[in-house]
């Protein structure tokens, strides 16, 4: 059940009123209070718009301790959970995805260690079906993966990957019960294959000596059984996609991508892989601003390019509405969230403004709600100390 906001700014359903004793609900759906404007090119459907429809409050955020630093978000519709790596609070925060209600926070992570992000934590996060219930596996700044029992709300195991810097992004091969975890900030970047079965054995490591600017978003395909890993640079040139066999635990090939510094990667319909490209490729290649690209992973050929989506980071595919959602947080005209049709790549895009460092995105495929963490915004009363913006494609007619 979603809690809607009345003109007074508090939840209007009786359950939330009683639970919060008159306080505002965590998930605020009040269009008049949202100052971000939805932008769109000629819409895929003339009545469709992408806009921010609500706000999830961060319980730890305050004037003295704002929600400034965060990394990956992950939504699991099977357990109705949205997980957020809250670097500012040194915690993994857990919310109910369908309502935005805050459930728990698990601390003990590294937090922020500037300059840069190389020793920050938590970073990447995924869910795993454990022996005793749902687990969250989260990368930390000390080259470890922490296993969190979501039912108990505590860390039940810590697995070292043997590096000196953070474990960042990860993906999960649920068929073979193998987790791939990245150490992108080491002198020689590497990935670690970890069994999610009893004992959590470290199975192998795979080095990437040609990855001269780290490693970025990986994605596992249940159709091919392979992992596709975005590599921003290959030998100080344009980047590519590493194709990895998680069972043999070896690199099969690297698909080179001209004019792209790939950061985000997500698989959509018909084995189409969308890559988000950042601004470094512009400097290397001498071409224009790097746009998002769509590849057919069976052939390695480009299917489409999206020149209006530039300098992007994390990407997610929503099986609920068959759209990719892309965080173009370094877009020259201002940070945006973009929705791209995966079935018909040539259809026009839907865009909505986000905010500073809005590089993280997750989606609940049951509600088609999209979660984007946002830094504090003095012009937004619902996000004064930082928040999670909830976005959706709606019909304005």
pLDDT tens track for 174-201: 999 999 999 999 999 999 999 999 999 9
Whether 296 contacts 289, CB under 8 Å: no
Res 395: pLDDT: 83
Identify the band that residue 40 occupies on the pLDDT scale cut at 50, 70 and 90. Answer: very low
Q: What is the percent of the chain where pLDDT is above 90?
A: 73
93 and 188 co-located in one domain: yes
- Bridge-based pairing of strands 133-139 and 125-130 is antiparallel
Q: What percent of the chain has pLDDT over 70?
A: 84
Q: Dihedrals φ, ψ of 233, to 5°? A: -135, 140
State whether 14 and 116 are in the same domain. no
pLDDT tens digits, residue range 202-245? 999 999 999 999 999 999 999 999 999 999 999 999 999 999 99
Query: Which value, to the nearest 10 degrees, does the dihedral of the CA atoms of residues 252, 258, 259, 265 take?
Result: -30
DSSP assignment letter at 269: G
In a domain, residue 358? The reply is no
- CATH number at 93 reads 2.130.10.10
15 with 93, same domain?
Answer: no
Residues 171, 108 within the same domain: yes
Among residues 172, 207, 242, the one where a domain terminates is 207
pLDDT confidence tier of residue 278, bands split at 50, 70 and 90 = confident
| pTM for this predicted structure | 0.88
| Last residue in a domain, options 160, 184, 207 | 207
> For residues 74 and 237, what is the distance between their CA atoms, to the nearest angstrom?
31
Same domain, 18 and 136: no
Q: Which residue has the higher pLDDT, 261 or 109?
A: 109
Residue 237 domain flag: no
Residue 207, both tokens: 């080095």
Examine residue 201 and state whether it is found in any structural domain, yes or no. Answer: yes
The predicted pLDDT at position 307 comes to: 83
Average pLDDT in the chain? 87
**Does the residue 356 lie in any domain?**
no
- Higher local confidence (pLDDT), 391 or 30: 391
What is the predicted pLDDT for the residue at 280? 55
Taking the C-alpha atoms of residue 265 and residue 77, their distance in angstroms, rounded to an integer, is 20
Quick one: tokens of 331?
């877009």
Residue 125 belongs to a domain: yes
In a domain, 161, yes or no: yes
Based on the domain organization, do 96 and 20 belong to the same domain? no
- How many angstroms separate the CA atoms of 71 and 64, rounded? 21
4 plus 88 within the same structural domain: no
pLDDT of residue 298 exceeding 50, the answer is: yes
Predicted confidence at residue 46, as pLDDT, reads: 63
pLDDT value of residue 281: 41
> What is the average per-residue pLDDT within 293-305?
91
Which range is most confident: 12-26, 264-278, 341-355, 360-374? 360-374
Cα–Cα–Cα angle for 89, 91, 94, nearest 5°? 115
228 closest CA partner among 187, 169, 307, 280 = 169
216 lies in some domain = no
Assess whether 21 and 109 both reside in one domain: no
Per the structure, the count of domains in the chain is: 2
Residues 87, 194, single domain; the answer is yes
Range of weakest confidence among 33-37, 86-90, 176-180: 33-37
Q: What is the dihedral sign for C-alpha 252, 255, 256, 261?
A: negative
Q: Kindly state whether residues 85 and 158 are assigned to the same domain.
A: yes
- Residue 328 falls within a domain, yes or no? no
pLDDT over threshold 70, residue 396: no
Instruction: Tell me: pLDDT of 31 over 50.
Output: no
The residue segments making up the domain with residue 162 are 77-207
Of 148, 177, 207, the position where a domain reaches its end is 207
The confidence score (pLDDT) of residue 289 equals 62
């Amino acid at each position: 059940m979603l809690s809607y906001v009345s003109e007074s700014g508090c939840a209007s359903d009786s359950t939330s009123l009683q639970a919060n004793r008159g306080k505002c609900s965590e998930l605020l759906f009040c269009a008049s209070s949202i100052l971000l404007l939805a932008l769109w090119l000629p819409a895929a459907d003339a009545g469709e718009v992408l806009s921010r429809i609500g706000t999830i409050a961060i319980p730890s955020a305050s004037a003295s301790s704002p929600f400034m630093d965060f990394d990956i978000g992950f939504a699991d519709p099977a357990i109705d959970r949205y997980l957020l790596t809250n670097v500012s609070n040194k915690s993994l925060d857990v919310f109910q995805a369908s309502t935005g209600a805050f459930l728990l926070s698990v601390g003990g992570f590294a937090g922020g260690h500037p300059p840069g992000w190389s020793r920050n934590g938590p970073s990447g996060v995924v869910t795993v079906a454990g022996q005793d219930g749902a687990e969250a596996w989260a990368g930390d700044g000390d080259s470890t993966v922490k296993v969190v029992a979501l039912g108990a709300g505590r860390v039940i195991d810590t697995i070292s990957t043997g590096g000196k810097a953070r474990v960042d992004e990860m993906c999960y091969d649920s068929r073979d019960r193998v987790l791939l975890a990245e150490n992108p900030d080491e002198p020689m970047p590497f990935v670690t294959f970890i069994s999610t079965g009893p004992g959590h054995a470290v199975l192998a490591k795979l080095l990437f000596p040609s990855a001269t600017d780290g490693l970025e978003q990986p994605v596992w395909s249940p159709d091919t059984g392979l992992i596709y890993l975005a590599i921003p640079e290959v030998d100080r040139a344009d980047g590519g996609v590493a194709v990895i066999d998680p069972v043999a635990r070896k690199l099969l090939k690297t698909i080179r991508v001209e004019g792209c510094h790939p950061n985000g990667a997500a698989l959509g319909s018909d084995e189409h892989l969308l890559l988000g490209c950042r601004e470094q490729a512009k400097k290397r290649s001498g071409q224009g601003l790097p746009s998002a690209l769509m590849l057919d992973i069976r052939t390695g050929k480009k299917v489409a390019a999206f020149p209006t989506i530039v300098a992007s980071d994390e990407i997610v595919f929503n099986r609920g509405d068959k759209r990719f959602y892309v965080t173009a947080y370094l877009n020259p005209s201002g940070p945006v969230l973009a929705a791209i049709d995966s079935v018909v790549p040539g259809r026009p895009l839907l865009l909505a403004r986000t905010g500073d460092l809005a590089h993280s995105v997750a989606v609940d495929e049951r509600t088609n709600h999209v979660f984007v963490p946002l830094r504090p915004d003095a012009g937004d009363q619902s996000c004064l100390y930082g928040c999670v913006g909830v976005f959706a494609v709606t019909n304005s007619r």
